[in-house]
Structure 1
Amino acid sequence: MAKVKRGKVVSYNKWGYIFLIPFIVVYLIFQLVPLFRTFYYSFFENYRSGLTQIGPNFVGLQNFITIFKNPDIWIYTENTLIMWIMGFIPQIIVSLVLGAWFSDPSLRLKGQRFFKTVIYLPNLIMAAAFAMLFFTLFSEGGPINEILMQLGWISEPYKFLSNEWSTRSLVAFMNFLMWFGNTTILLMAGMMGIDTSLFEAAEVDGATSTQVFFKITLPLLRPILIYVMITSLIGGLQMFDVPQILTNGTGDPMRSTMTLIMYLNKHLFSKNYGMGGALSVILFIITGLLSLVVFKFSNKKD
C-alpha cells in the first residue's frame, strides 16, 4: 500500500502570539504593575510635610475611611456624573441621527466623505487647546459677550465662568464636540453591518423610516450602544483636562466643576501618595460598578 505523503501544514498561530508580545510586555510594565502598586500603596500613610517625608507606614483601611468621611468625595462624584450626562445625552442623540443619515442609501447624500471628516476633526484637537479656546470665547470681555451685547440680547457682559450651570454646560458642550464624531463613526459602522434584506423586507411591508429605525436599527445596534455607553462612562469619570484648564484647577464656581480626577490630582500634587492611591482604588471600583449597571440594564432581553 503506497504511503500517502502529507503536505507540510503551515501554522500561523505562533505568529499571532509573537506579534502580541510587544503589547503584553508594555501592558504588564506600564499598566498592570502600576495598577497593583496603586492598590498596595493605598494601604500606607505616605506623604510629605514640608521637607519631611512621612512614611510609608502601613495604616490598613484608614485612607479609605478618611476619604469616605469627607463629604467632598460625594460632591465631586455628583459633579462628574452630572457633566458627563449633560454631554452624553446630546452626543448619543446627534450621533444616532447622523449615523442613520449617512448609512441610509436611499437618501443619496452628497459629500459624505467631507462631512464625515469634518465631524471627526474635533476629536483630533487637544482638550487643552479646546478649553483655552472656550475660556477666551466665553470670558467677560470675550467675543461671545461682545456679539450678545451688539445684538441687544444682554446689556452687560454675562459671567459664564462665574455661574454654576453655565460653567458645567460649557464643560459638557466641549466634551460633546470632541466625542460626537467618534461616536458617530462607531454607530455608523454598526448600522452598515446590518443585513440590508431586513430593511428591504420592512419597506415591502410598508414600514415607515421611523418604524424601521426603532424596530430594526436600534435593537440590532444594542451591542455597539452598550460599548459606546460604557466607554463614554469610563471617559466621563476620568474627566480632567477640560475643567482643569477652564477653571484653572479650582473647580469654580463653588467647586461645582471639580471632578474626581481633579481631586485625585490635588493629592498627587501635594505628594500624598497614600490618599491618592486610595482615591484611585475608589474610582476604579465606582467605574466598575457603574459599568456593570449600564451593561445589565442595556443588555436586558425583551
Structure 2
Amino acid sequence: MEKKRAKWGLIFCLPFILTFLVFQLYPIIYSFYLSLTFQENSRNFVFVGFDNYKDLINDKTFWKSVGNTWKIWLMNFIPQLIFGLVLAILLTQYKIKGAGFFRAVFYLPNLITVASMGVLFLALFDWQTGSVNNALVDLAILKEKVNWMSSPSFAQGITAFIQWLMWFGYSSILLTAGIAAIPEEVIESSVIDGANAWKRLTKITLPLLKPTMLYVMVTSLIGGMQIFDIPMTLTKGSGEPSKSLMTMVLYLYNMAFKNNDLPYGATISYGIFVIIIFFSLIFFKVIYGKEEKSA
C-alpha cells in the first residue's frame, strides 16, 4: 500500500516537476550559459568566460539603472510600509466599522494591470492634453502648461507613486493578518499591566510583526528591483528623461531584445539576482541579528 501511495504521489507531482524543469530550471541554467558567451550572430555563441561580468562591473549605464531602481523602490516602499502599518493598526486594533469594506477599497488598485495604470497617468500628465495641466491652468494655479515628464525627479516620483498606489493595500492586508495573529491574551495582559497604546505598539505589536514585515520587505524588494511595466509604458522603453527611468530590467530588455545582445542581457539578469539575494540577506540579518546574538 505504501508503494502504491508513493507511486500515485509521484504521478501527481510529475506535472509540476516537468513544468519546473522545462520552464524554470532550464531557462536559469541556459541564461547562465549565455552570460558566459559572446554572440557573433543570431545562432553562434562563443564562450568567453566571465568577460561579460567584467564589462557589467564597468558599465556606467547599468550602475545608473541600479541607482534609479533603488531610488524609485525606496520612494515607494517607505510610504507603503508606513501607510500599510497605520491602516492595519486602525482596522484591527481600533475595531473601525466597515473595516472589511475599507480593506477591499484599498486593495482594488492592485487588481488593475500595471501597464493600464502607466497609460492612465501618462494621459493625465500629458503636457498638451493632460487633465492635470488643464485643471491647474483653469484654476489659475499655473499660468501655462508644464511638461511634467521632462523632469527626472518628477518622472521618478510619479513612477514611485503608481507603485505605492497599487501595492500599499496589499501590504496593509498582510500586516493586518500579522496583527490579527497576535494572541488577544498578550494584548489584554499589557492593558492590565498599564501599558498605553504607544508601548503596546512598540513593545508588543511591532516585535511580533517581524516575520510579516520581513516577508513584506523581501517580496517588495524582489518586485521593486524588477520594475519594468511603468517605466516601459511612460517612456516607451527609452528610460527618459535623462535616463532617470532606466531601471535594471528595462536596461536588460533593451540590451537583450532591442540591441539583440542576449549574452549581456543574461549577464544583467544575474547581476539583478545577486543584488536581490544580497540585500534580502541584509534585511534578514537586520531584523533577526540582534535576537540571534542575545540568544
- 1:174 pairs with one of 150, 157, 162: 162
* Counterpart for residue 41 of structure 1: 34
Are 2:115 and 2:230, in contact at CA under 8 Å, matched by a contact in 1?
yes
* Counterpart for residue 18 of structure 2: 25
Are 1:92 and 1:180, in contact at CA under 8 Å, matched by a contact in 2?
yes
CA drift at 1:13: 8.0
1:120 aligns with 2:113: no
1:216 aligns with 2:191: no
* Counterpart for residue 55 of structure 1: 44
Q: What SS class does the counterpart of residue 44 from structure 2 fall into? A: strand
Change (3 A) 1:15 1:220: farther
* Counterpart for residue 70 of structure 1: 59
Amino acid at match of 2:110: N
More helix per residue: 1 or 2?
2
Structure 2 CA distance for aligned equivalents of residues 232 and 13 of structure 1: 38
- 2:121 pairs with one of 122, 131, 134: 134
Amino acid at match of 1:81: W
What whole-Å deviation, never above 9, does each CA across 1:231-285 have from its counterpart, x for those lacking one?
1111111000011101111111100110000100012212211111111111111
* Counterpart for residue 242 of structure 2: 254
Q: What SS class does the counterpart of residue 250 from structure 1 fall into? A: coil
What do you get for the CA RMSD once the two structures are aligned? 2.0
Change (3 A) 1:47 1:116: farther
CA drift at 1:100: 0.7
* Counterpart for residue 274 of structure 2: 285
Amino acid at match of 1:146: N
Are 2:256 and 2:263, in contact at CA under 8 Å, matched by a contact in 1?
no
Q: What SS class does the counterpart of residue 206 from structure 1 fall into? A: coil
What whole-Å deviation, never above 9, does each CA across 1:162-212 have from its counterpart, x for those lacking one?
101111000000000111111111111111111111111111122221221
Change (3 A) 1:299 1:20: farther
- 2:215 pairs with one of 218, 224, 227: 227
Amino acid at match of 2:103: K
Amino acid at match of 1:112: A
- In structure 2, stretches of 5+ residues that fail to align are none
CA drift at 1:54: 6.6
Are 1:47 and 1:274, in contact at CA under 8 Å, matched by a contact in 2?
no
Q: What SS class does the counterpart of residue 299 from structure 1 fall into? A: helix
Amino acid at match of 1:55: N
Deviates more, 1:148-157 or 1:122-131: 148-157
* Counterpart for residue 81 of structure 1: 70
- In structure 1, stretches of 5+ residues that fail to align are 1-7
- Max Rg structure: 1
Structure 2 CA distance for aligned equivalents of residues 234 and 38 of structure 1: 19
Are 2:238 and 2:246, in contact at CA under 8 Å, matched by a contact in 1?
yes
Q: What SS class does the counterpart of residue 45 from structure 1 fall into? A: strand
Change (3 A) 1:102 1:20: farther
TM-score (norm 2): 0.92
Structure 2 CA distance for aligned equivalents of residues 176 and 115 of structure 1: 17
Structure 2 CA distance for aligned equivalents of residues 188 and 22 of structure 1: 35
Q: Percent identity?
A: 39
1:150 aligns with 2:143: no
Are 1:243 and 1:258, in contact at CA under 8 Å, matched by a contact in 2?
yes
